[in-house]
Amino acid sequence: MSNDLVIEAKGLTRLYGDGKAARPAIDDVSLEVKEGEFVAVLGPSGCGKSTLLGILGCLDRAFEGSLALFGRDTTTMSDREQAKLRGTKIGFVFQAFHLLGHLSARDNVLSPTLFVDHPPDGDLGARAEELLAAVGLAGRGDDMPATMSGGERQRLAIARALLMKPPLLLCDEPTGNLDLETGRNVTDIFQRLHGEGLTIVAVTHEEMLAGAAERTVRLRGGRVVDEAEGEG
Ligand code: ADP
């Protein structure tokens, strides 16, 4: 395994259904992502994007093929080891935001500390404020998610995903619930984070987001059809 590969996936296949009814949601997908790359996986609804992202994020281990993250084979890890890897090395951003509605914006940003054994050192309160400012939500820490617009909620979700300083950000249709301008705004944030060295993989059906990435992998019917360099 090469050291600068953050993701090294080979021959990923994921079947849903049993016996004769089994169908591959993704079929023999291989993907390499280098440190610092911004890769978009582009394809229409149902082509297997969420399935692929779930496997890459160690949210689903019922697949065939091999997956190494940060040079480590994930298939031989225990569930606990995978959870630790997820909690410390991967930030997730989802289409539906998945914010905690009973917590303020600030406490949503801080919420990843609830799921790890050893929260990172340093002043997390100050880091939360920095992250809120970085996504254009300075001074909004006391706001509740229900009072925020879709774009604001997604920017809050991005701030939360970055709290633990993960080297990898995995995004599932992050602009899917946003109008064009708001989606562009969120895309700009990804480009800035990419410029700062973060490795980003975003699955999307939106050409605009894919156009911002450095590289696009096209998925159709669960298979990679071609790859193209983007403009980002
Ligand atoms: P996308 O994210 O591109 O919309 P998905 O990965 O969600 O695609 O789905 C790929 C295929 O797998 C689709 O045909 C979908 O119906 C099927 N699929 C996804 N999740 C499940 C599941 N839990 N059980 C059965 N089929 C599923």
| Full DSSP string of 157-219 | HHHHHHTT--SEEEEESTTTTS-HHHHHHHHHHHHHHHHTT-EEEEEES-HHHHHHSSEEEEE
Burial class (CB in 10 A: 0-12, 13-18, 19+), 79: exposed
Q: Whose CA is nearest to atom 14 of ligand 1?
A: 46
User: Who contacts 37 (Cβ-Cβ below 8 Å, separation ≥6)?
Assistant: 6, 199, 200, 214, 215
How would residue 228 be classed by pLDDT, with cut points 50, 70 and 90? low
SS (H, E, C) 87-106: HHHEEEEECCCCCCCCCCHH
How would residue 231 be classed by pLDDT, with cut points 50, 70 and 90? low
pLDDT of 197: 96
Return d(Cα 189, Cα 183) in angstroms, integer. Answer: 10
Indicate whether 154 pLDDT > 80: yes
Collapse the DSSP code of 222 into the 3-class scheme (helix H, G, I; strand E, B; otherwise coil) and give the result. coil
Helix (H) or strand (E) holding 80: helix 79-89
How would residue 189 be classed by pLDDT, with cut points 50, 70 and 90? very high
pLDDT digits (tens, 9 = 90+) for 69-85: 999 999 999 999 999 99
Share of the chain above pLDDT 70, in %: 96
Better-scored residue on pLDDT, 121 or 62: 62
Identity at 219, one-letter amino acid code: L
Task: Supply the mean pLDDT for the chain.
Answer: 93
Helix (H) or strand (E) holding 18: none
Indicate whether 113 pLDDT > 90: no
Indicate whether 230 pLDDT > 90: no
105-116: average pLDDT: 90
Pocket test for ligand 1, best of 16, 63, 170, 218 (most atoms within 8 A of CB): 16
Return d(Cα 135, Cα 229) in angstroms, integer. Answer: 27
24-33: average pLDDT: 97
6-12: average pLDDT: 98
Of 122-126, 181-185, 205-209, 212-216, the one with minimum mean pLDDT is: 122-126
Burial class (CB in 10 A: 0-12, 13-18, 19+), 118: exposed
Indicate whether 90 pLDDT > 80: yes
Ligand 1: distance of its center to the CA of 51 in Å? 6
CB of 115 closer than 6 A to ligand 1?
A: no
pLDDT of 107: 96
CB of 25 closer than 6 A to ligand 1?
A: yes
Burial class (CB in 10 A: 0-12, 13-18, 19+), 135: buried
Indicate whether 118 pLDDT > 90: no
Collapse the DSSP code of 128 into the 3-class scheme (helix H, G, I; strand E, B; otherwise coil) and give the result. helix
Token digits for 114?
């609830």
pLDDT of 187: 96
pTM: 0.94
pLDDT of 3: 60
pLDDT of 229: 61
Indicate whether 208 pLDDT > 60: yes
